Amino acid sequence: MKRFLILAAVALALGGCANGFSLVAGERAQIGSTMSIAPGGIWNRQILGNNEIWTLDGPALQTLRFVAGAAEGEPMMPRPNATFNEPQKDAPKFHDNMTPPEVAELLVATFTQLGANNTETKGLKPAKFGADDGFRFEISYAARSGLECQGFAVGRIKDKKLYMAIYTAPKLFFFERDRGRVEHMIETLRFDT
Amino acid sequence: MSTRTIGAALTAAVLAAAPAWADMTDNNGPGEPPKPFEDLKPSERPSPSSDEAGLWMLADRAEQQIKTSGAVVHDPAMNAYVRRIVCKLGGPYCGDIRIYVVRHADFNASMMPNGVMTVWTGLFLRTKNEAQLAAVLGHEIGHYVRRHAVQAQRDLINKAGANMILGSMLGAAGIPAGPLVTLALIGSVYSYSRENEREADEVGARLMAGAGYDVREAAALWTNIVAERKDDEEEKSKSVFFATHPEPEERQARLEALAKELNLAEPMRGETEFRAVFALSRLGYLRDELNLRRYVKFGNLLDRLETENPAPGEIKFMRGEMYRLRAKDGDDKKALESYTAAEGLLGAPHELLRSLGVVQSHLGDKAAARASYGKYLELEPDAEDREVIRVMMKQDE
Amino acid sequence: MVRFAAALKRAAPVVALAFLIAGCATQGPFATAEKLDRRAADLRVVLMPPDITLSELTVGGVQEVNAEWTAAAKTYAQQALQTFLQQRNTQLVAYKEPENADAAHMHEQLIKLHEAVGNSILVHQYFQPLQLPTKKDKFNWTLGDEVQALGRDEGADYALFVHITDSYSSPGRVAAQILGAFIGVGIPGGVQVGYASLVDLRTGEVIWFNRLARASGDLRKPDAARATIDVLMSKFPS
């Protein structure tokens, strides 16, 4: 029965040609219920649970992912239950007593489980997450095809929840092209409290 | 040992293992020594219109993807070492076999119909010495020489799609092959029968003996593998090796018997050089295993490595890491105990102090955490994360 | 109810296919220029190693790869492309793998990058449920200027990529593409995937792209191959 409903939902979605991405532009955009950011141009965005994926040319060519408050016991990147066979219980989880090195470990474990190869982080250092104190680190990995990719992540644990902005793109051309723009955007992140 | 001697030993091994195959080498005159399988020579490829050609084509594509995947380990010393063992075992087939060491946790090695051998780095954690490594490589060469994979896949090319076969070749090689390639698929496409397993074991044992290795080590290896899988509920659903190699009954007993029959006068185990080749990589491979997050299996693996005692500090440190990452109730305390036990022992890395600080911080002992971080920074003044550690030290004041 | 659900389960891939072909796919081919830049007297297009796999749908309903057809297809496709371009005063040269290891690695990465771009075009330009709003009514895709290395090493002004292969993915995977896409994008639907693209090796821009529709194409024989290539290369810049 469940399978039937899932298939029906997918069929309906396809039949209606429902669009998975929406446009985001303007002065400020809300991310989740607690953060906002200045988009600095036009982006395509997709919301998946407490994650948002922003992209210009498609996630394989660049992904700016926001983690908008993962709580104790939750994974960094949620999976849509209907479409993945692996249950959520296998995903590496965030714990609210984690230190920044442990958050970097969590990202490596998460990427690895999703199929990235040779995921590594380096350069972990204190940094501003918007206006607040946080940390950042650099990321390198290879996509499933072997395409080499690069990225960086900025994060903060606030009120026992994990907030992150993770930017990844192929090393060739794409990472550098929008890196500056993304850094500017992250500077404009604010918590609405 | 000269190539000729190896060749003769190989042929003898192959023939002795399966008399039924003797007629395959009947293409020589009376009184002439039987030749190895002619159809395995490098220059010979299946004719393009044969269904076997499709398999070779897929295997060649798989090889291309493996080469460019970024997962291949290029360490020259390691590759030379593995190659030497393969050539000691495989003699005239040595030139046909292209070896790829793939950075991947867990125990696996596989061969494709076109002579590509892939060995996962996780394998090097399960083999105690060169003889045990030779046992696995010899076993795979046995499958290859007997063309077991071709037999299995020839049947399946009618049932499974090309992409699925390619995907399972890649999966067995340790290269991500896409979401459709499940373990069940790899197992169904790329699997050997129990009869094939026995044959490969026997050929492998004969090759080992012929090369001067102690065949008893093959039995010891499998005993260790079985022990590691004990109590691990996920093993059935996650092990690529055992999805593709069903366990034949009484494998250890049979190998012990073969050892008695085949072992030369002073058979070699080769522990010293083996340890030297992998000494510096072991910690990284243990990390890869821990990243699989299968804690029962990892604990079993550490238990065995602890008895071998190559670097006790390293093992106890990784046990601490295991508890820290598992993060169940009481695990922070267990991690603390392991780290404390590891301190000062051979192989304990400096990062132990950072992990120690983290669990001390979790346990509320801020002063101890600060002291551990401080010691870490003293030993690693250029640590990449030194600024973050200093911030953490301030926060713990 | 149970029987209907089971029937729908079997029908789902076909259902998804129908949507894919009929309603939810924008057409193409896409081209950003009608003409090639012929400033250089001797215009050379390098044909990148064609990624072609031909399979046959057996009575049992599975795709069986055919090595002979695939080898033939690669030859005929290459010949047909040569002819097609010669008729348009353009020289097609074969790809030469570089000897130097660093250059070879760079080429490999560029080819993988093109694969990511090509797949992104299929998923986010053609396929409406996942079309990016910023790509609507536009076609601006690029590999970036690092392709100049390819141009220098092969002595070519443009690179032509041809990718014809069978690819299967359940309809349920469609929505999941986004999540894992930053790690490797996949193709939705259950259609035969075929496309050709032309990349300007001075800028990296994809200046022409066409998707091969499922029904067309037989590359196994020279005449049929020529006809297929003519369709594939429709609206190719002159």
Domains in chain C: boundaries: 2-232
Q: How is residue C210 written in tokens?
A: 């066409």
The span from the CA of B52 to the CA of B148, in Å, is 13
Of B66-75, B268-277, C90-99, the least confident: B66-75
C-beta atoms of A19 and C131 within 8 A = yes
How confident is the model over C102-115, as a mean pLDDT? 90
What mean pLDDT is reported for chain C?
73
Residues of A in contact with B178 (CB under 8 A): 144
Chain C contact probe: residue of B49, B156, B180, B182 with most C CBs at under 10 A: B180
Min Cα distance C123 → chain B (Å) is 16
Instruction: Kindly report, residue by residue over A67-92, the tens digit of the pLDDT.
Output: 999 999 999 997 654 333 444 556 88
On whether the CB atoms of residues B372 and B360 are closer than 8 A, the answer is yes
Map out the domains of chain B with their CATH numbers.
Answer: 3-271 (no CATH), 281-395 (1.25.40.10)
Min Cα distance C106 → chain A (Å) is 9
Instruction: Give the count of alpha carbons within 13 A of B340, CB side only.
Output: 10
Whose CA is closest to B188, among B215, B218, B157?
A: B157
Of B49, B54, B176, the CB nearest to C65: B54
Residue C147 is predicted with a pLDDT of: 96
How confident is the model over B208-215, as a mean pLDDT? 94
Instruction: Kindly report, residue by residue over C196-210, the tens digit of the pLDDT.
Output: 999 999 999 999 999
CB pairs under 8 A between B and C: 54
C-beta atoms of A142 and B70 within 8 A = yes
Chain B residue closest to C101 (CA)? B68
Produce one character per residue of A30-69: b if its CB has 16 or more CB atoms within 10 Å, e if not: ebbebbbbebeeebbbbebbbbbbbbbbbbbbbbbbbbbb
Of A129-133, B117-121, C209-213, the least confident: C209-213
How confident is the model over C106-112, as a mean pLDDT? 91
The phi and psi torsions of A189 (rounded to 5 degrees) equal: -65, 135
How confident is the model over B97-104, as a mean pLDDT? 93
On whether the CB atoms of residues B203 and B254 are closer than 8 A, the answer is no
Angle at A184 between CA A183 and CA A188, to 5 degrees: 115
Of A103-112, B181-190, B210-219, C133-142, the least confident: B181-190
CATH hierarchy code of domain A21-191: 3.40.1000.10
pLDDT band at B277 (very low <50, low <70, confident <90, very high): very high
Residue C56 is predicted with a pLDDT of: 56
Instruction: Kindly report, residue by residue over B239-266, the tens digit of the pLDDT.
Output: 777 777 767 667 888 899 999 999 888 8
The span from the CA of A35 to the CA of A5, in Å, is 34
Residues A121, A127, A132, A133: is their CA dihedral positive or negative?
positive
Chain B contact probe: residue of C53, C65, C168, C187 with most B CBs at under 10 A: C65
Alpha carbon A190 to its chain centroid, in Å, reads 17
Residues B125, B128, B131, B135: is their CA dihedral positive or negative?
negative
The span from the CA of A148 to the CA of A171, in Å, is 6
Whose CA is closest to A130, among A41, A77, A192, A176?
A: A192
Residues A95, A97, A100, A101: is their CA dihedral positive or negative?
negative
On whether the CB atoms of residues C66 and B54 are closer than 8 A, the answer is yes
pLDDT band at B92 (very low <50, low <70, confident <90, very high): confident
In this structure, chain C runs to a length of 238
Of B79-88, B100-109, C1-10, C116-125, the least confident: C1-10
Is it the case that residue B213 has pLDDT exceeding 70?
yes
On whether the CB atoms of residues B316 and B338 are closer than 8 A, the answer is yes
pLDDT band at B185 (very low <50, low <70, confident <90, very high): low
Whose CA is closest to B147, among B184, B114, B187?
A: B114
The span from the CA of A61 to the CA of A76, in Å, is 21
Of B129-143, B156-170, C100-114, C133-147, the least confident: B156-170
Residues in chain A predicted with pLDDT less than 70, given as ranges, are 1-19, 79-90, 193
The span from the CA of C53 to the CA of C178, in Å, is 26
Residue C73: CB atoms within 10 Å: 23
Produce one character per residue of C163-172: b if its CB has 16 or more CB atoms within 10 Å, e if not: bbbbbbbbbb
Residue B382 is predicted with a pLDDT of: 93
Give every CB contact of residue A48 below 8 A, 6+ residues apart in sequence.
Answer: A78, A80, C178, C179
Chain B residues with a Cβ under 8 Å from any Cβ in chain A = 65, 68-71, 103, 176, 178, 291, 293, 325, 327, 354, 358, 361-362, 384-385, 387-388, 391-392
C-beta atoms of B176 and A122 within 8 A = no
Instruction: Give the count of alpha carbons within 13 A of B72, CB side only.
Output: 18
**B249: exposed, middle or buried (Cβ count in 10 Å: 0-12, 13-18, 19+):** exposed
pLDDT band at B161 (very low <50, low <70, confident <90, very high): low
> Considering just the CA atoms, what is the radius of gyration of chain A in Å?
17
Give residue B35's region: left, alpha or beta (phi > 0; psi -120 to 50). beta
Instruction: Kindly report, residue by residue over C34-75, the tens digit of the pLDDT.
Output: 777 776 667 889 999 877 766 655 444 445 566 677 777 788
How confident is the model over C146-166, as a mean pLDDT? 89
**Separation in Å, CA C14 to CA A63, B62, B181, B251:** 32, 30, 21, 47
Q: Where are the alpha helices (DSSP H) in chain A?
A: 2-15, 100-114, 174-187
DSSP helix/strand/coil, C195: strand
Chain C residue closest to A6 (CA)? C172
Is it the case that residue B124 has pLDDT exceeding 90?
yes
Residue C52 is predicted with a pLDDT of: 74
Pairing of strands C91-94, C44-47: parallel
Is it the case that residue B363 has pLDDT exceeding 80?
yes
The span from the CA of A101 to the CA of B388, in Å, is 8
Residue B16 is predicted with a pLDDT of: 47
CB contact A170 to C (< 8 Å): yes
Residue C98 is predicted with a pLDDT of: 87
DSSP character for A89?
A: G
Residue C39 is predicted with a pLDDT of: 66
C-beta atoms of B384 and A105 within 8 A = no
Of B103, B325, B384, the CB nearest to A122: B384
Chain C contact probe: residue of B57, B181, B185 with most C CBs at under 10 A: B57
Residues of B in contact with C110 (CB under 8 A): none
Angle at A153 between CA A191 and CA A78, to 5 degrees: 75
Chain C residue closest to A41 (CA)? C134
What mean pLDDT is reported for chain B?
81
Q: Which chains touch A (3 or more CB pairs under 8 A)?
A: B, C
On whether the CB atoms of residues C167 and C229 are closer than 8 A, the answer is no
What is the DSSP track for A26-41?
A: SS-EEETTTEEE---S
Angle at C155 between CA B65 and CA C157, to 5 degrees: 95
CB contact A111 to C (< 8 Å): yes
Is it the case that residue B138 has pLDDT exceeding 50?
yes
Note if the bond before C188 is cis, omega within 30 degrees.
Answer: no
Chain C contact probe: residue of A12, A83, A108 with most C CBs at under 10 A: A83
Domains in chain A: boundaries: 21-191
CB contact A144 to C (< 8 Å): yes
The span from the CA of A123 to the CA of A125, in Å, is 6
The span from the CA of B348 to the CA of A179, in Å, is 39
Is it the case that residue B46 has pLDDT exceeding 70?
no
Residues of B in contact with A112 (CB under 8 A): 291
Is it the case that residue C104 has pLDDT exceeding 80?
yes
The phi and psi torsions of B75 (rounded to 5 degrees) equal: -50, 115
Chain C residue closest to A22 (CA)? C133
Question: What pTM does this model have?
Answer: 0.78
Instruction: Kindly report, residue by residue over B56-72, the tens digit of the pLDDT.
Output: 777 887 888 788 767 88
The phi and psi torsions of B280 (rounded to 5 degrees) equal: -80, -20
Residue C224 is predicted with a pLDDT of: 79
C-beta atoms of C65 and B48 within 8 A = no
Chain C residue closest to B156 (CA)? C64
On whether the CB atoms of residues A152 and A138 are closer than 8 A, the answer is yes
Chain B residue closest to C111 (CA)? B68
Residue C215 is predicted with a pLDDT of: 47
Residue B309 is predicted with a pLDDT of: 76
Of B48, B53, B162, the CB nearest to C64: B162
Min Cα distance B388 → chain A (Å) is 5
DSSP character for B35?
A: P
The span from the CA of C186 to the CA of C173, in Å, is 9
DSSP helix/strand/coil, C76: helix
C-beta atoms of C179 and A77 within 8 A = yes
